[in-house]
Structure 1
Amino acid sequence: MIKGRIHSIESMGLVDGPGIRTVVFFQGCPLRCAYCHNPDTWNLQGGTEITPKELLKKLLRFKPYFEKSGGGVTFSGGEVLLQPDFLIEILKLCKENGIHTAIDTSGFGPGKFDKILKYADLVLLDIKHANDSGYRNLTGQSKKGLDEFLKALSNSNTKLWIRHVVVPGLTDSKEHILKLGKIIKGIKNVEKIELLPYHTLGINKYEKLGINYKLNNVPPMDKEYTKELENLLKEYIKKKRL
């Protein structure tokens, strides 16, 4: 019997896809992003063990609420791709029950991407950095994992929203944003692009867990400048596609 591990369930997600979303946070992540605000999801052995059918039963309780808004369920993390068999089964069950699904991912997992994308209605893809050295510095992993997922996306018709966190001194230069644009313009089915300003709201979790926070001296990102960079990115992609 397939079982997965989840960290928690949020019933009123408003920024995790279209409409009101029930958000299921999966346990376990292969990345160690310097700005991660959920370090308590890193350990794959943590969380609560559950079967796909048990999880579906919980999700169906919320269906009357998210269905009215054109919403659905978003599977987040941690990293959802780290538990592919469990993810595939719950995506199948949601589809059978008329539930719109989204996966919020960094694109890192052991495989079965094609099958996952077959059943997911939407992908929220968090691109951490535009080159391999920057990716390693920020996440502790090579950008190769993301590149493999991008290949699977190119063979899929799944709709895509792209997100990128802008961190002062790391990902906030115009040069970096244009390099990100080069990656995005080569991806199909992109419906939405968002640049998110870095914030420090998760620091207290590191203190409680006794984990060193790598960006301790980095201030929150200016929201207006983040919007300026987002407009620059969208204009660049628009010109390249004309």
Structure 2
Amino acid sequence: MVIFLQGCKLKCLYCHNPDTIDTAGGKSYPIEELAEMAVKMKPYFGKKGGVTVSGGEPLLQSKALIPFFKRLKEEDIHTNIDTNGRLLNHFTEELLDDYADLVMLDIKHMTEEGYEFITGQRNKETTFNFAKHREASGKKMWLRYVLIPGITNTPELLHAMGKYFKDYKTIEKIELQPYHKLGVHKWESLGWEYQLKDARENTVEEIKSAVSILENYFKEVKTN
């Protein structure tokens, strides 16, 4: 079960859910209503399923997610957060350390210039500080990385990412997201200019090459 939360402080050029960026809008749900929905779906989760909160950036609502995740844990439901890792405060730490079984952490870029180009914000170190906190907790984490030819998908950047995270014990795998333009129509409907119109999709060979490089550093490399 995936719950998309409204609001994000980043504006990633390739975002395929740009309608969730604005912190205004969205629909409010009582925690118990969401919990009841999850309980009803529990028979379909199997051994590995559960509830994922995504967005937008779900950790903007960390304070509200604490009682929600606590309620899910009472029902023995697996909890997961899909995040850009930009926010780390008291509420976020409590949510991560006590109630989040898994974290999917988006790595935007390995350089400050690349991070600012993609997200519109500076200080990529916020994501790496977040990763360090998760590693120190000893709890499971997956990395996610969008492959854009010439922008994020270069051997230098892939090796840099692998070397940075190679000693992390909590990372179970890295998921690669080949670049696509499926969300362009959403940008257009919002009246926003899509700035990656000239970017192309990866070739099969480029994806295989990226996987081959990262397999030197991570236990599992998956292409979505």
Counterpart secondary structure, 1:83: helix
1:179 Cα offset (Å): 0.8
Confirm or deny that 1:177 pairs with 2:158. yes
1:125/1:109 CA distance change after superposition, 3 Å: same
Paired residues in the alignment total 216
Of 176, 181, 191, the match for 2:172: 191
Asked if structure 2 preserves the Cα contact closer than 8 Å seen for 1:197 and 1:223, the reply is no
Letter in 2 for 1:153: R
1:56-205 alignment runs, 5 A limit: 56-66=35-45, 68-109=46-87, 111=89, 112-117=91-96, 118-141=98-121, 142-205=123-186
Residue ranges of structure 2 left out of the alignment (5+ in a row): 220-224
Counterpart secondary structure, 2:196: coil
Asked if structure 2 preserves the Cα contact closer than 8 Å seen for 1:113 and 1:149, the reply is no
Of 207, 227, 241, the match for 2:188: 207
1:237 Cα offset (Å): 5.2
Structure number with higher relative contact order (C-alpha < 8 Å, ≥ 6 residues apart): 2
Give the match for residue 211 of structure 2.
Answer: 230
1:221/1:41 CA distance change after superposition, 3 Å: same
Letter in 2 for 1:133: E
1:187 Cα offset (Å): 2.9
Tell me how far apart the structure 2 counterparts of residues 97 and 88 of structure 1 sit (CA, whole Å): 15
1:223/1:202 CA distance change after superposition, 3 Å: farther
1:147 Cα offset (Å): 2.6
Asked if structure 2 preserves the Cα contact closer than 8 Å seen for 1:23 and 1:75, the reply is yes
Q: Percent identity?
A: 45
Asked if structure 2 preserves the Cα contact closer than 8 Å seen for 1:27 and 1:42, the reply is yes
1:168 Cα offset (Å): 1.5
Letter in 2 for 1:126: D
The worse-fitting range, judged by mean Cα deviation, of 135-144 and 108-117 is 108-117
Letter in 2 for 1:124: M
The list of structure 1 runs, each at least 4 consecutive aligned residues, that deviate by more than 3 angstroms after superposition, is none
Please give the TM-score of this superposition, normalised by the length of structure 1. 0.84
Of 39, 51, 54, the match for 2:30: 51
Q: CA RMSD in A?
A: 1.6
1:1-20 alignment runs, 5 A limit: none
